[in-house]
Structure 1
Amino acid sequence: MNRRPTVVVTDGGGRGPVRGGGSGGRGGCAGAIISLVVLALLGALVAAFMPSCSSDYTEQNASTVIREELAPGSVTETAYYTDQDGDWIHDPAALESGMRTFYEKTGVQPYVYILPNGTTTSVSQLTDLAEELYDQLFSDEGHFLLVFCDDGNGSYTCGYAIGSLAADVMDGEACSILATQIERAYNDYSLSEEEIFSEAFERTADLIMGAAERKQASDTMGTVAVAVVGIAVVGGIAVFIVKKKRAADRERRERAEKILNTPLETFGDSDIEDLADKYEDDATS
């Protein structure tokens, strides 16, 4: 494809009103069990929500806009590309892998239309062509059409058309993120031509939809945190009650043993009568 290191040109346009450029005891056991439960929940909480270091690009370029996936039925699924050049796409599965991921995460189906190398470097021509092709290729408003043209000398130009429904997801920021990812992938010479588009769309989906995922994770973390606190409070009350009862039982036993081990001669007659009355009360209680 004659891709060489150079300054990349990435421009585009929008469909309709959307236009833009894009490049112990029981008490002790209870306390131990409750402590283990709380620790297990806290461990799960930390493991589930600790920052991931597997994708640095997500942290650096992630959008903060919360976008919702298009509702089911918004798109009539079509093919994913046209290669008019004839020498760009040799492995359709490699191309479509990331594009399908984009579709699954956003609800917007992407489509790449590749012109023969050197056809044009005009942004306006590519934009007009994208808008014309949109109505020819699709019968819905949930597609994102990227028209791409390599100049054969290491740079490219592109235009795009966005369905009115797809524009709710692919706003100006999202299109800018996609342009950045295409530029990055285009200049990564470890990637095949198919992987340029596949990886660019897949990473874009992660970046533009990540805010909603982070919000959901935050909400879940809050729910789990409340549950942990609730369990800790209830567990603390239960342990307190059990320990208090054990202490009262121990005190009664010690008092009874003390009385039983005291010789009767040490008591006066009135004390003996009181003691007898106490035993009778204990027996009937």
Structure 2
Amino acid sequence: MILVVIGTVLLPLFSFGGGGSGGSSGIAKSTVERQPLPAGAVNETAYYTDEPGWISNSGELTAGMKRFYKQTGVQPYLYIAETVDGTARPTASAIQAYAETLYSQLFTDEAHFLLVFCDNGSGGYMCGYSVGAQAKTIMDDEALGILADYLDRYYSDDMGDEEFFSLTFEKTGERIMTVTRSPWPAVLTTVVVVTAVVIVVALLYKWWKHAKEQKNLEARQTAEILNTPLEKFGDTEVEDLAKKYEDDTKEE
């Protein structure tokens, strides 16, 4: 029973994560304390370009992107490309170069983050990105890795394109703006508490067992006393009294 209690308490702590479909297991940790860009850093623009016509609910898509903007001060922009330089299956270097070219065409500030997304036609996708000089204080290499992890996490989930991109940006914003705490302090605290409880339970059980054994011993001793003839106790007064009764009986 004790092992079951320990397992029940500790298992959720080892299942580190939370938030969003499937939790955050497998998502890179955020180890940098980031401060959002100041208000006015962004010349706000639209939020996406959809060349292949995937998006039918713009409100659902931009909801998560706007939350990312509010959390980070960086305005995200999604460019869904049907082709890159005339090809539907661009190389990684080609789509990255394309993103760099698009940035200067789309924005007049250095506080945007541009994600170029292209279906590779084989059940997967290709991505390129460009980050403004100011936005790099938020979208550093670690943050970009977290975004890539969320793209991989949600791409295979059964959800529409709008929800996929919206959730990816929203969860990325939440994670990169909060330092991911290690679960070990909580685990250690729980281990100490559980260990203390186990020790107390063990001591109480030992005390109860000893008390029960003592009670049983006393009960056996009492039974032995009650079942022992009086003559065996060696009491001379008792023996004399018994002899007197025997003599009186004979005389009668």
The 8 Å contact of residues 181 and 204 in structure 1, kept in 2 or not, is answered as yes
Choose which of 156, 175, 187 in structure 1 pairs with 2:144.
Answer: 175
- The residue that corresponds to 1:25 in the other structure is none
> Residue in 2 aligned with 1:159?
130
Distance 1:96 1:42 in 2: 42
Q: Which amino acid aligns with 1:235?
A: V
Q: SS at 2:130's partner residue?
A: strand
Matched, 1:146 2:117: no
Q: Match of 1:63, SS?
A: coil
Q: Residues 67, 83 of structure 1: CA spacing in aligned structure 2 closer, same or farther, 3 A cutoff?
A: closer
1:57 is displaced (CA, Å) by: 8.9
How many angstroms apart in 2 are the aligned matches of 1:219 and 1:51?
A: 13
State the structure with more CA Rg: 2
1:133 aligns with 2:109: yes
Instruction: Name the amino acid aligned to 1:133.
Output: D
Q: What letter corresponds to residue 160 of structure 1 in structure 2?
A: V
Query: Residue 64 of structure 2 contacts residue 170 of structure 2 at CA under 8 Å; is this kept in 1?
Result: yes
Q: 1:267 to 1:113 in 2, by over 3 A?
A: closer
Q: If the length of structure 2 is used for normalisation, what is the TM-score?
A: 0.57
Q: Does structure 1 retain, via aligned residues, the 8 Å contact 2:43–2:108?
A: no
TM-superposed deviation, 1:149: 6.5
Q: Where does 1:20-59 land on structure 2 (aligned, <5 Å)?
A: 35=1, 39-47=4-12, 49-50=14-15, 55=22, 58-59=25-26
Please say if 1:245 is aligned against 2:221.
no
The yes-or-no answer on 1:108 pairing with 2:72 is: yes
Report the TM-score when normalising by structure 1.
0.51
Q: Equivalent residue for 2:28?
A: 63
**8 Å Cα contact 2:77/2:113 also seen in 1:** yes
Structure 2: runs of 5 or more not aligned: 86-96, 239-252
Would the alpha carbon gap of residues 63 and 80 (structure 1) be closer, same or farther in structure 2, given more than 3 Å must change?
farther
Q: Residue 197 of structure 2 aligns to which amino acid in structure 1?
A: I
* 1:256 aligns with one of 218, 222, 230: 222
Indicate how the Cα distance of structure 1 residues 90 and 228 shifts in structure 2: closer, same or farther if over 3 A, else same. same
Residues 212 and 57 from structure 1, CA distance in 2 versus in 1: closer, same or farther, beyond 3 angstroms?
A: closer
Structure 2 letter corresponding to 1:222: L
Partner of 1:230: 196
Letter of the aligned partner of 1:173 in structure 2?
E
CA distance change for structure 1 residues 75 and 263 in 2, over 3 Å: closer, same or farther?
farther
Amino acid at match of 1:178: L
Name the CA distance, whole Å, in 1 between partners of 2:72 and 2:225. Answer: 84
SS at match of 1:159: strand
Name which structure has the greater RCO, CA cutoff 8 Å, separation 6+: 1
2:139 aligns to what SS in structure 1?
coil
1:66·1:209 contact (CA, 8 Å) conserved in 2? no
CA distance in 2, matches of 1:102, 1:183: 18
1:201 to 169, 194, 214: 169
Taking a change above 3 Å as real, the CA distance of residues 162 and 133 of structure 1, as seen in their structure-2 partners, is same
AA of the residue aligned to 1:247: E
Give the Cα separation in 1 of the matches to 2:170 and 2:78: 18
What is the percent sequence identity of the aligned residues? 22
Give me the whole-angstrom Cα distance separating, in 2, the residues matched to 1:99 and 1:197. Answer: 8
Contact 2:78/2:114, CA 8 A, preserved across alignment: yes
Structure 1 residue runs without a partner (length 5+): 1-34, 135-143, 273-285
Provide the rounded CA distance (Å) in 2 between the counterparts of 1:66 and 1:158: 22
State the alpha-carbon separation in 1 of the partners of residues 219 and 141 from structure 2. 78
CA deviation string 1:146-201 (max 9, x = no partner) = 235789xx98864222647x72x53213224536766998999x854x45642442
Cα distance, 1:268–1:44 mapped onto 2, change above 3 Å: same
Number of corresponding residues:
214
Matched, 1:212 2:180: yes
Pairwise CA distance, 1:231: 0.4
